[in-house]
Amino acid sequence: MQRLNSALRLASQICAFFAAVAVGITAFIYVAEVVARYGLNSPINISSDVGSYMLCVCAFLAAPLISRQRGHIAVTVVLETLPPRVLGKVTRVLEFVSAVVLLVVGYFVLDLCIRQYHQGVLTSMANQIPRWWLTAVMTFGIFFSALNFLAPADAKSEEIMEL
């Protein structure tokens, strides 16, 4: 079980790395657009499309590590009033429910991805790509986030939560 948990941790860190790469690509494309438009008087007109695509990639590839570290936004007003013994149990139940919800959502997104692939649906942007590419990234991020809710939280994230 510990080996599986370590593999999940590594996969989540790799996903976060690629999310950061997506941010870098977005920044590079926007800078290239500005230089081409104002410096060379020859706009490339892909920055908006690439920015939108990379935002999707960034959000869904960062989600697994955020879930693993329990770094997501949470309203904990009620939880903070619970005694520590009860808090641990309630937290595990909430994490399990979150994982189940993500698995159900992931199933529907996977179904959509498969339909988009078979139908050859393209994005509606000026520079079109197959829509299933983005939906596949969404599916991957959602399923990995669910797995991270089922896995024990990293010790580092528990220290962060206590601060």
Beta bridge partners of residue 122, listed in sequence order: 130
Encode pLDDT of 85-101 as tens digits.
888 888 889 999 999 99
The residues of the chain scoring below 50 in pLDDT are: 157-163
Cα 135 to chain center, whole Å? 12
Structural domain that includes position 18? 2-162
Q: What is the pLDDT of residue 130?
A: 94
Q: Strand, coil or helix: what is 129? A: coil
Cα–Cα–Cα angle for 24, 27, 30, nearest 5°? 150
Q: What is the pLDDT of residue 93?
A: 92
In whole angstroms, what is the distance from residue 11 CA to residue 63 CA? 12
Q: At what angle do helices 84-119 and 131-150 cross, to 10 degrees?
A: 160
Q: What is the pLDDT of residue 154?
A: 67
Beta bridge partners of residue 21, listed in sequence order: none
For the chain, the domain total comes to 1
Encode pLDDT of 114-130 as tens digits.
999 999 999 888 888 99
Q: What is the pLDDT of residue 29?
A: 92
Q: What is the pLDDT of residue 155?
A: 55
Q: Strand, coil or helix: what is 125? A: coil
Give buried/exposed letters for 22-37 (b at 16+ CB in 10 A, else e). beebbeebeeebeebe
Q: What is the pLDDT of residue 161?
A: 44
Output the pTM of the full model: 0.82
